[in-house]
Structure 1
């Protein structure tokens, strides 16, 4: 029996944000690949794989059994954070969903987050909204990353519970406070694309019968920030 799992590049990067010895839950686990991968590489880790639908739940159980991890990875059927009890884990992962859905899962499961020290999220869209949610609920963003896979660029956000709180600027919410400082290669590729998208959106909104000037102003402000960060890239050929 193989003792390794070939995770996608995206999930391998998500796994790197889970510290050694973590007791964690992976919500919407999709075959339980992530918790099994983490537990195979960390003998002290214990995971919960949460699934809301019967089919993926059964697939997750099959993966856990295949790697003989039933004593360390518990597969549970339930909606969002309903699969965990308050106090039994110290880290939650929610990856591979839209930012709005992730916020809903966190909102509806707040009662079960009181002792969770770290939240790791990998949204497919709406990273700024998630950053705002995290800081508003007493989490400080302590690590971030970007990964490119199959033509898509994903952002990973890790936030730790912090009584001192965090207040990010709108610019930091948009780009990510740590990503903005590190600016890995995918950063410039993403924001060149986003620059083109925002220009197109502004043109379309401006031509509307009743333009929403507030929204246009927001997009123009973001466009100026994007121009600023792209000027720091040495390659302006696609800008």
Structure 2
């Protein structure tokens, strides 16, 4: 068995998975995450879900090479259709997709989430839409991470069952991230601020979009203070 080394992004996801979880990894990318968690003895059962036959076969081959077929089941299925109630899945990871797609996957499978204790979500964009979906469907964001890897910034959202309300700022910037204001968080939003300033320089004073761009610029400046 070859020990799996995870990327910085996936390592951050792995660190957030609860010990002894029964895991579903949606869009599993070679089943690296489940393999690592099994090898580290953090969990002892996982489903690696793939919706396309090519990646499905690659993941199956990887699991076989690691001789972990008794602990990791690779299933060809769309989103949360990869598991059944009898699988007793307690943690779900959906990483490396757009926030809108993650929201759609959760929406399509929402009737299967009642017994799931933990969602670990890593959207590549539209984080605010995903947070809105979670709040609307009685999930509480329990923690957030933001990290920089190979020049890209990634956010990770962990959610559990419960009711909460997030204001507009918390939805857009993250309830925890906007409080912590880490160096990476500041890097992300300073870059956005720079883009908005350039747009304002080009827009005529009476342009219809100017007020919205100016408002967003001021909101970011307020959060970064």
Q: Given the two structures, how large is their TM-score scaled by the length of structure 1?
A: 0.87
Q: Is the 8 A contact 1:20 1:45 kept in 2?
A: no
List aligned pairs for 1:16-95, cutoff 5 A. Answer: 16-42=15-41, 44-86=43-85, 88-95=88-95
Match of 1:158 in 2: 158
Structure 2 gap ranges (5+): none
CA–CA separation in structure 1 for the residues paired with 2:167 and 2:41: 37
The answer (yes or no) to whether the contact 1:86–1:113 under 8 Å persists in 2 is: no
Q: 1:65, CA displacement in angstroms?
A: 1.4
Match of 2:223 among 181, 204, 229: 229
What CA distance in whole angstroms lies between the structure 1 residues aligned with 2:92 and 2:4? 21
**Residues 219-239 of structure 1, C-alpha deviation per residue, up to 9 Å, x if partnerless?**
4333223112333xxxxxxxx
> Per-residue deviation at 1:201?
4.6
The alpha carbon displacement at 1:33 in A equals 0.6
Q: CA deviation at 1:114?
A: 2.0
| 1: CA distance, partners of 2:152 / 2:43 | 33
Q: Could you tell me how far 1:14 is from its partner in structure 2?
A: 0.9
Look up the SS of the partner of 1:16 in the other structure: helix
C-alpha spacing 1:210/1:229, structure 2 compared with 1 (3 Å): closer
Counterpart of 1:135? 135
Helix, strand or coil for the counterpart of 1:14?
helix
The answer on whether the counterparts of 2:37 and 2:43 sit within 8 Å (CA) in structure 1 is no
**Partners of 2:127 and 2:63 in 1: how far apart?**
31
Decide whether the 8 Å contact of 1:86 with 1:114 is kept in 2: no
Aligned residue pair count: 224
Corresponding residue for residue 173 of structure 1: 171
- 1:6-25 to 2 correspondence within 5 Å? 6-25=5-24
Match in the other structure for 1:191: 189
For 1:202 and 1:37, locate their aligned partners in 2 and report how far apart those are by CA, in whole Å.
47
Q: Which residue of 2 aligns with 1:236?
A: none
Alpha-carbon separation, structure 1, partners of 2:145 and 2:104? 23
TM-score, length basis structure 2: 0.92
Q: Secondary structure at the match of 1:177?
A: coil
Q: For residues 182-208 of structure 1, what are the alpha-carbon distances to aligned partners after superposition, in whole Å with 9 as ceiling and x for unaligned?
A: 22221111111111223345566x559
Provide the rounded CA distance (Å) in 2 between the counterparts of 1:202 and 1:70.
Answer: 56
